[in-house]
Structure 1
Amino acid sequence: MTGVYTGSINNASLEILVKRLGEPENVLMVSLGSPMGKTLDLQKGFWEYIRSYMNNGPWFDKNGKHSDSDEFIKSQLSSNIRHSDFLGYWKKTITDKKLKSGDSNFLTASDAFMFVGHLVFYPTNAIQDFTYDYVKRKTRKLWPEIVTERLKPDGPTSRLIDLERERGLPV
């Protein structure tokens, strides 16, 4: 977009309109994008991920096509490091560099900076991880059955639009 007074605007918004089941007049606008990096390319990529998930199901390959195996998904999830694990990751990285280099100077300024930074923020990250786990466990019991049914590993047994039709609700 380009504005007369603003010049070029290089960000994009990705939002969806959500309607409550059985109450179509009760709507909510939800922003799907991350709070930073709202470039058009990033938002299009995120939308393509959501579209692929909705069209092809929870299991897909690296090209976004449906797959009968969850191998690709598991490989992506295995790379997710918790915030409190960063300190251990950098410690292992430095140890590996030390073993590979022998007696030569192996420690770079960025290694030292990252290790000290993660050491300083470790208590905050540990509290954040603990809080996230606690809240996730606590709130899952509060979800309605219609939501928990959709969280099953093999997917839901019914579609929301079919439930609305069964109840005679406007779609």
Structure 2
Amino acid sequence: MIENAKKLFDAVASKFGTSSNVLLLNGKSSSGYAPSQPGLVESQDCVFLSLRTGSAESKGILTGVGFFVGAVGILLVLLPNLFGAPYSSNLDWWVFLLSVLVIFGPAIWEINRPPSLPIVFNRRTQEIYYDLKGELYHAEWSDIEAVAYEYQVINQYSGSIVHGNLEIILKKFGAPDDRIALNLSGVPAGKRLRTVVGIWEYLRCYMTIGPWFDENGNRTESKSLFIDKSLKSGELSFFDLVLESRRTLGQERKEGHGVSGTAFLSWLTSYMLLLPAFGMECIQKIDRKKARHRWPKVVQERLDPNGPTTRLIDIEEDYMVQKQQELGDIHERMRKTLPR
């Protein structure tokens, strides 16, 4: 188990054989890099900032596939009838029913799954929260450190691709010896060291300087254009990108230089991906609405602008005693009720 960021730094530097592409960062001092827009910011205000996780980004993929396959099945059943050909057998109705099930089955299953909670940076209590399979992990910003590094992945198909990660160490609430390394930078492919360090600077500026700042990390009294762009980029979904690609063909035609093959292919693909993207969009919106209410009570209280300002580490000992007492009470009731 990696207990702190220094040990993580040593492990990463040892694995890649050099420390030239590995940086140890902390929350108290600037790295010298300008903040860069993470693109994963789900929400940001005076109380807290939340980052989407990889599991949240992949939510709805199964539903999207179901929308596409089900729509194709329904279309195959309806097309002959639209052209005057009668239904040949009961098989058409079974295909229609199966297509409807393929559309709604995955959607119902994904809606009823536990939501993917974001990574939360709480300015009021100067803490970080993260949920891992129903277990709460946290860290205090006062002694936070991060490890930023880049590495290359080489294979015969794609050649050499640079990957970048930004990781911090979190400890489990109620079991501080249980610790995990958490990636804050999202998908590593294509990210350089300066990119992930810029993401760290964005988070550091939010936690130390204030909720609003400019592209140089200087505090502003209100939401700057830099922050506004960051929030808008974080709101972009796969569905938005598909809709945007549909406009590419029209934009090239307006320019009067003809239509490129790339624009035509993008336009054609956008119609194929429209239903899958719409299915993903629906599931992810529902998932985000459910997420806020799935945090433990101790976190929800601290995300309230008028809630307590005590940190989880301040109440952890009392919390552990309370949980141990509750567990003891349950065992005592079981001992009295079970036959001897």
Q: Structure 1 CA distance, aligned partners of 2:240 and 2:203?
A: 28
Residue type at the aligned position of 1:57: G
Deviation, 1:47, is: 1.9
Residue type at the aligned position of 2:220: S
Contact 2:248 2:266 in 1 (8 A): no
Pick one of 107, 125, 128 that aligns with 2:277: 125
Instruction: Give the TM-score normalised by the residue count of structure 2.
Output: 0.40
Q: Structure 1 CA distance, aligned partners of 2:214 and 2:306?
A: 18
Instruction: Give the TM-score normalised by the residue count of structure 1.
Output: 0.71
Deviation, 1:150, is: 4.9
Q: Structure 2 CA distance, aligned partners of 1:95 and 1:25?
A: 58
Which structure is richer in relative contact order (CA contacts within 8 A, separation 6 or more)?
A: 2
Contact 1:22 1:164 in 2 (8 A): no
Structure 1 residues 157 and 165: alpha-carbon distance in aligned structure 2, compared to 1, 3 A threshold: closer
CA RMSD of aligned residues (A): 3.1
Paired position in structure 2 for 1:37: 190
Deviation, 1:58, is: 2.4
Bigger Rg over Cα: 2
* Greater displacement, 83-92 / 118-127: 83-92
Superimposed CA distance per residue, residues 137-157 of structure 1 (whole angstroms, 9 cap, x where no aligned partner)? 2232211244334545x6976
Contact 2:247 2:267 in 1 (8 A): no
Q: For this pair of structures, how many residues does the alignment match?
A: 159
Q: Would you say 1:62 and 2:211 are equivalent positions? A: no
Q: Structure 2 CA distance, aligned partners of 1:58 and 1:131?
A: 29
Structure 1 unaligned residues grouped into runs of 5+:
none
More strand by share: 2
Superimposed CA distance per residue, residues 30-53 of structure 1 (whole angstroms, 9 cap, x where no aligned partner)? 122333235322222222222222
Superimposed CA distance per residue, residues 113-142 of structure 1 (whole angstroms, 9 cap, x where no aligned partner)? 211222222222212111111222223221
Q: Structure 1 CA distance, aligned partners of 2:223 and 2:308?
A: 19
Superimposed CA distance per residue, residues 4-38 of structure 1 (whole angstroms, 9 cap, x where no aligned partner)? 9xxxx545542211123454223222122333235
Percentage identity across paired residues of the two chains: 25
Q: Would you say 1:164 and 2:313 are equivalent positions? A: yes
Structure 2 unaligned residues grouped into runs of 5+:
1-12, 19-150, 153-162, 319-340
